[in-house]
Structure 1
Amino acid sequence: MEQHISVKKTITAYRDGEFYREEDNIVSEVPLTIFVNKKEFATMVCSPLHYKEMVVGFLASEGVILFKSDIHSIEIDEDKGFAYVQLNKKLQKDHSFYSKRVIGSCCGKSRQFYFQNDSVTAKISMSTASVTAEQCLHLMGQMQRNSHVFKKTGGVHNAAICTPHHIIVDRADIGRHNALDKLYGHCLLNNISVKDKILVFSGRLSSEVLTKSSKIGIGLVLSKSAPTDLAIKLAEDLNITAVGFIRGSSFNVYSHSYRITQNKKGEISNEFMQH
């Protein structure tokens, strides 16, 4: 049985000029060490939910696996914080390249990848997804309404894989990468195609989030927060539509705006055909 995602703790709170003793819900944080083919591979710090999905998504994003069939077995020891993965193939001996910082380039474009493995596993989106402006607002609102752990603790990132009309799966974690890996793992384990799907995300649109989205195969990313300049450059190069500051009845489109339409029928409006 999975651990509780939050714990109650007595704290000292300051309210309106006075100190009070009260109980607060604190988000849980646990380490999970992954062994691949009996060799220690990585340790992740995460929220204690959906371990299997996270491990599968992480290994896929790192290029260790491509398909669910690459995995022979996965065993999770929650009490000790270990995940044992046995592959149907040999593991590459040298893992050091995962952490080497480089600037990668492809197709004549200057993609500013931080790590060598990102330049290998990130891919140009072939997404067929499109949404109306109203659907962008609706999906963000729906994810926020579903964010029970955040409402309880205020300590997690939320992410969801969606169609233009509804959320297929949502996940929460203390780490934004973990939340995305859980979604990736869920899609791989359940054979869900993402080429026409949308990623909705609660956090900042950083270059890391855009890179992870491209690894998953997502071409349309909706965020409640701001992007970085490097994230926008990556989105432009990787053919990803990046939408930020989705709040109330407004948002900003930073790249490839042709995937955002203005009407309910899904036709592309002329003013958005500039990319």
Structure 2
Amino acid sequence: MSQTNAAFSLVKTRAEVPLTIEVTAVNEHGEPEQKFIACERPLTVYLNWRPIVTLMTLGAKAESLALGYLKNQGFISDVTQLQSVIVDWDTNSAAIVTSEQITDLDEKLSEKTVTTGCGQGTVYGGLMQGIDDIHLPKQTLKQSTLYQLLKNISAYNETYKHAGAVHGCGLCHNDTITAFVEDVGRHNAVDTLAGDMWLSGEPGGDKIFYTTGRLTSEMVIKVAKMGIPVLLSRSGVTQMGLELAQKLGITMIARAKGRHFLVYNGAENLQFDVNQ
């Protein structure tokens, strides 16, 4: 168990579990092959000893995942009031204790929505809380920087390369990846990065958020709450995701792989400086 380097006192574990296991599969020739598969385990998140949700997760950085989830859902908002974040894989639990006054918890828990995508997630009414007050800075991105970033990202996705069946999300500054997380659901990966940013007080205005998953309404809202103005994906977009990106002023770039990409919103923020 360790103390964070934050200015406030917070007890925070660093519980670790294997991310992949080796199994035997039989190929199309009837021959056995040793393969690695991604792990998936339940993690029940407790807030002041009250169960909030059970997330299906790979298990990497579970403390940050639990914090980012509660922050993004609007259950907690004051990082200085956090007292402890304890993950126990023997009981598959993450217990967050805060001295922050938690209001309308019953109401938030009653407004539950199951999200789209693999590793189904659950969101509550608090996810939409405060989005009208979000004002994101403009960030100009060069086409050449985007190409270099996509090239650099190819060095990540370690679990995916090893075993498949996971999504990855990255926090980027220009063409540098400053943090990268993989999980069985894209929503878990973004919540984990959100938790890390929240604890460290890292600003998002100069960042690009990369994901291997679809750009849904949930992804757009969470990235906006992180203060990040550019959202980049190798996958597609949904109608509600695009509408929210337009409302919030997020530059939305999708289908980005190799030298191909599509800017669905914010094309005026991209400098086309590469001769095709």
- TM-score normalized by structure 2? 0.84
Whether 1:238 aligns to 2:235 is: no
Assess, with a 3 A threshold, how the Cα gap between structure 1 residues 199 and 139 changes in structure 2: closer, same or farther.
same
Alignment match of 2:125 (pick from 116, 123, 133): 116
Matched residues in 1 for 2:176 and 2:110: separation?
37
CA contact (8 A) 1:140 1:200 kept: no
Alignment match of 2:41 (pick from 27, 30, 41): 30
CA contact (8 A) 1:37 1:91 kept: no
Assess, with a 3 A threshold, how the Cα gap between structure 1 residues 141 and 96 changes in structure 2: closer, same or farther.
farther
Whether 1:11 aligns to 2:22 is: no
SS of residue matched to 1:65:
coil
CA contact (8 A) 1:61 1:212 kept: yes
SS of residue matched to 2:265:
coil
Deviation digits for residues 179-204 of structure 1, max 9, x if unmatched? 00011011112221111211011111
Deviation digits for residues 224-248 of structure 1, max 9, x if unmatched? 0111122111110111110011122
Q: Which amino acid aligns with 2:30?
A: F
Matched residues in 1 for 2:129 and 2:79: separation?
20
Alignment match of 1:149 (pick from 159, 172, 189): 159
Whether 1:65 aligns to 2:76 is: yes
Whether 1:181 aligns to 2:191 is: yes
Structure 1 residue 24: Cα displacement: 1.1
Matched residues in 2 for 1:67 and 1:73: separation?
13
CA contact (8 A) 1:207 1:231 kept: yes
Structure 1 residue 153: Cα displacement: 1.1
Partner of 2:231: 221
Superposed CA RMSD in Å reads: 2.0
Deviation digits for residues 162-219 of structure 1, max 9, x if unmatched? 1113111111000111000011011112221111211011111122211221222211
Assess, with a 3 A threshold, how the Cα gap between structure 1 residues 246 and 135 changes in structure 2: closer, same or farther.
same
Q: Which runs of 5+ in 2 are unaligned?
A: 1-14, 114-122
Partner of 2:217: 207
CA contact (8 A) 1:37 1:87 kept: yes
Matched residues in 1 for 2:83 and 2:135: separation?
29
Matched residues in 2 for 1:195 and 1:67: separation?
20
Assess, with a 3 A threshold, how the Cα gap between structure 1 residues 99 and 198 changes in structure 2: closer, same or farther.
farther
Alignment match of 1:251 (pick from 254, 258, 261): 261
Q: Which amino acid aligns with 1:61?
A: N
Assess, with a 3 A threshold, how the Cα gap between structure 1 residues 220 and 32 changes in structure 2: closer, same or farther.
same
Matched residues in 2 for 1:136 and 1:212: separation?
22
Query: What percent identity do the matched residue pairs reach?
Result: 25
Q: Which amino acid aligns with 1:170?
A: F
Deviating more after overlay: 242-251 vs 85-94: 85-94
Matched residues in 1 for 2:240 and 2:158: separation?
31
Structure 1 residue 125: Cα displacement: 4.0
SS of residue matched to 2:236:
coil
Partner of 2:90: 79
Assess, with a 3 A threshold, how the Cα gap between structure 1 residues 192 and 11 changes in structure 2: closer, same or farther.
same
Q: Which amino acid aligns with 1:7?
A: I
CA contact (8 A) 2:76 2:102 kept: no
Deviation digits for residues 39-64 of structure 1, max 9, x if unmatched? 11221111111011111111110112
SS of residue matched to 1:19:
coil
Q: Which amino acid aligns with 1:176?
A: R
Q: Which runs of 5+ in 1 are unaligned?
A: 103-113, 265-275
Matched residues in 1 for 2:110 and 2:182: separation?
25
Structure 1 residue 115: Cα displacement: 5.6
Matched residues in 2 for 1:43 and 1:121: separation?
24
Structure 1 residue 134: Cα displacement: 1.7
Assess, with a 3 A threshold, how the Cα gap between structure 1 residues 145 and 34 changes in structure 2: closer, same or farther.
same
